[in-house]
Amino acid sequence: MKTDSVIMSEAMQALHTALTPVEVEKFVVMLNRNKFDYTRWRENLWQNETLESLSDKAQAYYQSRASDINRSERR
């Protein structure tokens, strides 16, 4: 099991990969201000999705990422 500090470090790296520093700060402030409940959020996350719709979205995402990688490798 990962330690708290490893989880925190990896989470911050993931945030900084996806967001600008200003957006990361804004996200952290929103979490603290709104007392974010991750468990409740996860319970409602996919309630309007079917297995097929999630599979379609995952395949589309994978294909878009593969296209991005192929383009960057050609450069």
pLDDT one-digit tens code per residue, 25-40? 999 999 888 888 888 8
**How high is the mean pLDDT of the chain?**
88
Side chain identity at residue 62, one-letter code = Y
Question: Tens of pLDDT along 47-67?
Answer: 889 999 999 999 999 998 877
Percent of the chain with pLDDT over 70: 89
CB 60 within 8 A of CB 48: no
- For residue 36, report the phi and psi dihedrals to the nearest 5 degrees: -55, 130
pLDDT value, residue 41? 86
Strand, helix or coil at 1? coil
**pLDDT at position 17:** 93
Q: Is the pLDDT of residue 70 over 80?
A: no
Cβ 58 vs Cβ 64: under 8 Å:
no
